[in-house]
Every structure is written in C-alpha cells, then in structure tokens.
Amino acid sequence: MSNEKEFSQLIEETYRSLSFFLRYLGLPEPEVDDMAQEVYIKAYRALDRYDEGRSFKSWLFSIAKNTFIDWTRRQKTQRKFLEQNFIREFSETFEDDANNRSDIRELISKLSAEEQILVELRFFQDLQFKEIAELTGLTVGAVKMRVMRILERMKAGIKREHYGEHL
C-alpha cells in the first residue's frame, strides 16, 4: 500500500479504534490526538517495511503499542488508567436506542474496559483473536472467552427484547 489516498482511507477507518486503543493502554486524554498522529506518520514512513502477509490494521496497532511504550519511558511516570473515563468515552460512540433495538449503549457501558476494546478490535476492525491477544496482552483463550460473554449478553438482550415484544 503505497497510495496516499488509500492510506487516508485507512486513517478514516481506524482513527476511532486507534484512539480507543491508546486510551485503553492508559494514555492521558490530552495526548491521544498527538500520539495518533505520530502513529500514522510512523506507519506511513515505514510502509515499505510492511509485510503484506500481515494484517495492516494489526501492524498499525502494534506501532501504536510501541509508540505508547516509548512515551511511557520518556515520561518516567506511572501511567494511570482511568477506566471510567474510557468506558464513558467508548459507550458514547453508540446510539442510545438504535433501530428500536435493545439499548446497546447501556449494554456497552456495563462491559469492562478490556471487553470494550475487544468489541472495537474484533467487531469494528476485524482483527483475529491472536492479533488482539498480542495487542492487549491477554491470552488467545481469554480473548475468546470474553468475546463469547459479550455475545451472550447481547444475545440475551436481543432475546429479552424480542420476547418482550411478543408478550
């Protein structure tokens, strides 16, 4: 991928996920935009080193992770992850009541930070379980288990709604 236009398209597709991933890692809110910019520029400059056999999104997020690690080294301070802030930000990207279905936003806000980032990476970025495990530091089994739980809860919500409609 050497086309500037294609890369711009990719930025549009991944910007939200990347910023949530950086927040999930514990990057303070004021730093998110700057670091996202740094990550994209790094990725653009390193395009010739990108292995075509690998998922581009997975490669981009691994650059983000390394950039974040470098940042924490430079800061020399303990990172503080404010889970409630992350969860609020993430759930706000969902409608309150989309298509007259169950309240997905409420359901999302009840998920843990890890589960929320799994939703983002798995369902909105199509990353594989293995790739998600590498990025989040979880085991592949743990990632699968959490995704199953999320789907169970969502399925239960849909079932309840569907069941309620017929009552």
Partner 1 sequence: MANICEKLIEQVSSDSAKLSPELQSHVLTCPECQQYLESIKGLKAARKGMSAKEAAAIAGIVGLISKEAAASAAAANASSGGAAGLFGKAVLVVVVVAALTMVAFDKSSEKAPLPANKGINIQTEDSTSQIGSADSEKQSENSFTSTDELAGTNEADNASSTADSSRWQNSAEQDKIDATNSIIVSPDQEDIKSR
Binding site for partner 1 (CB under 8 A): 4, 7-8, 11-12, 15-16, 19, 33, 36-37, 40-41, 44-45, 92-95, 98-99, 101-102, 104-105, 119, 122-124, 126, 129, 144, 147-148, 151, 154-155, 157-159
Q: What does the alpha-carbon distance between residue 103 and residue 24 come to, in Å, rounded to a whole number?
A: 23
Q: How far is the CB of 42 from partner 1 (least distance, A)?
A: 11
Q: How far is the CB of 69 from partner 1 (least distance, A)?
A: 21
Q: What does the alpha-carbon distance between residue 57 and residue 17 come to, in Å, rounded to a whole number?
A: 10
Q: Which residues contact 122 (CB under 8 A, 6 or more apart)?
A: 129, 132, 147
Name which of 24 and 129 has its Cβ closer to partner 1. 129
Name which of 77 and 142 has its Cβ closer to partner 1. 142
Name which of 64 and 73 has its Cβ closer to partner 1. 64
Q: How far is the CB of 38 from partner 1 (least distance, A)?
A: 10
Q: How far is the CB of 156 from partner 1 (least distance, A)?
A: 9
Report the length, in residues, of the chain. Answer: 167
Name which of 88 and 101 has its Cβ closer to partner 1. 101
Which residue is listed with tokens 């998110």? Answer: 32
Q: What does the alpha-carbon distance between residue 87 and residue 114 come to, in Å, rounded to a whole number?
A: 10
Q: How far is it between the farthest Cα atoms of the chain?
A: 59
